[in-house]
Amino acid sequence: METLWNKGIETPPEVTRFTVGNDPQWDLRLARYDIKGSMAHVKMLGKTGLLTPKETEEIIAALDKILDKILQGRLIIGQQAEDIHTLVELELSKDLGQTGKKIHAGRSRNDQVMTDIHLYLKDVCRNIARMTARLFGCLQEKSELYKDIFMPGYTHERPAMPSSFGLWLGAYAELLVDDMYQLGAAWQQCDQNPLGSAAGYGNSFPLDREETTRLMGFATLKFNSIAAQMSRGRTERSLSFAMASLAGTLNKLAADCCLFSGPDYGFMEFPDALTTGSSIMPHKKNPDVWELIRARCNSIQGLPNQITLVSTNLTHGYHRDYQLLKDLLFPAIDSLMDCMGMTILMMSNLQVNGSILQDSRYDQLFSVETVNHLVMNGVPFRDAYLQVASSLSDGTFIPEKDIHHTHTGSTGNLANEKIREKMALALSRILDPK
């Protein structure tokens, strides 16, 4: 196997297998970003005179050919190279001979892989933001559609006060805004260029790091070379916290839908095609999709801790420990995107029960309404509270079901437009940064 650090000493195959790990698998998703970073690096080397114009042109053309292979799915990291960085340099050397070997001047695999990851995670942030925007739109649409259909609101998993499907759905939409605030913070960490920090201490070449920053579309540099190296692990952890926040929102929504779509509640249902059956019970309509979303999102919520544990107790500078972060983060990204797609599918097919509160079991939900009505008619609140409590106790309570809530964020004033404005601003920081 070709390595960039080969000194002519044979490495036992078991050591190669152990140290290479899953990089050939995960590096395929970094391949196009490795080419993007390499093109920027080569153009910068040409600008500073470290490559001739002819060499620059030849290497860029060769990198374009490698990119075509990547986009067509024809590039394979097989036994000949340990990672994408080695493979690209190997391909260039085969194509251009000695010229191809000049590409590594002024950089290390340390800053190369960080650049790839920063570029990749910027796209991940964009993809998560776009998917969140779709889910947000679906929730707000359903919130408006069902704003006048009431349902029980709960505290301590006990019926508490009247709520509405509009209020419930709108709540999850607004929680997604908070998740986008977290994602925006992760985006800002990703949007810094580490290229040129080399192994962590810069080098003696007259690199133009501002030029590679511009060419790759980063907002700014990670200026200090050591700080650039120490961003490894921190960048992944920042994104993992944003992913965990979003997973927490999906998890709670899934838990609600599992419970409230059951026959004991009957608040809502989903088409038979989106549920599963039992091998022995013909009547079952199991919420397997929601249960798997709930479980997967629980797993994603553990991701920050996993990344923290791998990255902790390490002195400054690069450590091979960081390689394992791909094994943790990359599958979690795929899982979160799957969960979001399935959540959109399920919520798009939500069907609600419009007559829940007609059931007398929910009459006590209106106790606060009765208390407030008495207060509005001059009865002190504590006296009104005791009066209604007494009627509940002796069975004389008569619910007042004519609800008129007007304050912002209540069943009668969902403020969905204001929430849309908040989300638009949060998304713009990721999808349309200035």
The pair of structure tokens assigned to 40 is: 């920027």
Given 278, 316, 348, 390, the catalytic residue: 278
- Is residue 143 annotated as a catalytic residue, yes or no? no
Per DSSP, 75 falls in state -
Instruction: Please report, in angstroms and rounded to a whole number, the separation of the first and last CA atoms in the chain.
Output: 44
- Is residue 118 annotated as a catalytic residue, yes or no? no
3-state secondary structure of 374: helix
Q: What are φ and ψ of residue 2, in 5° steps?
A: -75, 135
What number of residues does the chain have? Answer: 434
Residue 111 to residue 165: CA distance in whole angstroms: 50
Q: Are strands 150-155 and 158-164 parallel, antiparallel or unpaired?
A: antiparallel
Compute the Cα dihedral for 217, 218, 223, 225 and give only its sign: negative
Alpha helix stretches (DSSP H) within 357-434: 367-376, 381-394, 416-431
Given 38, 156, 231, 240, the catalytic residue: 156
Residue 146 to residue 156: CA distance in whole angstroms: 25
Q: Which among 294, 278, 297, 298 has a CA at the least distance from the CA of 286?
A: 278
The answer to whether residues 35 and 43 touch, using CB atoms and an 8 Å cutoff, is no
Residue type, 107: R
Active site residues: 156, 278
